Amino acid sequence: MSTSLLEQVAQGDQTAVAKVLDQYGDLVWSLARRFLGNSPEAEDAVQDIFIAIWSSAERFKPELASEVTFVATIARRRLIDRLRKNSRTPDSVEYDEGAATQNPDPVNRITENVEVHNVVRVLNDMPEQHRQILSLSIYEGYSHSEIAEQMNMPLGTVKTRVRRGLLHIREQLEIDQEQDGENA
Amino acid sequence: MNLRLEELLIDQAVFGLDAGEEAELAQLLQEHPEAAENPFLETTALVQLGLAATDPQGAVAMPADLRRKLAATAPHDNSNSNPSG
């Protein structure tokens, strides 16, 4: 079995560092920009995230999660902490063509990961409004109350839909995992 | 799973918690240590990835100078170090 990129990073392999940046750099940058807007804050956040990735690389266990999920989980925790600490509302993302070039390949490639592919399928099967609430909260970093206001919906409804949506996705992923296990 | 515990774990994974909620969660986890590894953290990370992958405007190339800074923060290659040098 080949050694994962993160295991190689943990061993101090500089070529693996470059490969991790090739593989996940644009992804983490895109997630940070979506959460924090095109601001110096997003750049600081990405630096925090990669410092955490380097220092956590030796804890990566390929049998427990895929590498992209491990990286995204670290990124997510740092982005939420930053958003809460600064009490900021995520900015709407306006792409400045002078500052960054759109380059969808590295991000689109993540659907090659079977779990991400399955999540996309479950999300696509959900009612549009439920999907939108998950997108505003999980992908764009809006709070319960901001979503309630934006969607003109009681706060309790937002909370319930986020909770039900996530439970539904977890349940579907577990079913997929069982089926994959049976087919293996 | 205890309903309030589940609610707090989901809120932690989706929105983050304030200090009061963190304390409440810590208290509940003493009674339910099996939930200490929040399973919703991985689920929300996957959802975030799925939404990023399907967002037509979501993918942006990282600026080259940021990439250079990130490479500089990485651990150094121990195998090439010269102990005498």
The number of folded domains in chain A is: 2
Using CB atoms, which residue from B41, B73, B79 is nearest to A50?
A: B73
Chain B 51-80, CB below 8 Å of chain A: which residues? 51-63, 66-67, 69-71, 73-80
Look at residues A52, A68, A92 and tell me which one is the last residue of a structural domain.
Answer: A92
Of all residues in chain B, the one with the smallest CA distance to A172 is B43
The number of folded domains in chain B is: 1
Q: Which of B48, B61, B63, B60 is nearest to B15 (CA)?
A: B48
Phi, psi of B60 (to 5 degrees): -130, 135
Please tell me the pTM assigned to this model: 0.87
Q: Are B7 and A163 in contact (CB under 8 A)?
A: yes
pLDDT, average across residues A55-71:
92
Residue B36 domain boundaries:
3-73
What radius of gyration do chain A's Cα atoms show? 18
User: What is this model's ipTM?
Assistant: 0.88
Q: CA angle at residue A61 from A3 to A59, to 5 degrees?
A: 100
Report the sign of the C-alpha dihedral through residues A43, A40, B42, A152, in that order.
negative
Residue A56 domain boundaries:
5-92
| Domain presence at residue A39 | yes
| Shortest distance, CA A101 to any CA of chain B (angstroms) | 6
Task: Output the tens digit of pLDDT for each of chain B's 85 residues.
Answer: 789 999 999 999 999 999 999 999 999 999 999 988 899 999 999 999 999 998 888 788 999 999 999 998 887 655 544 443 3
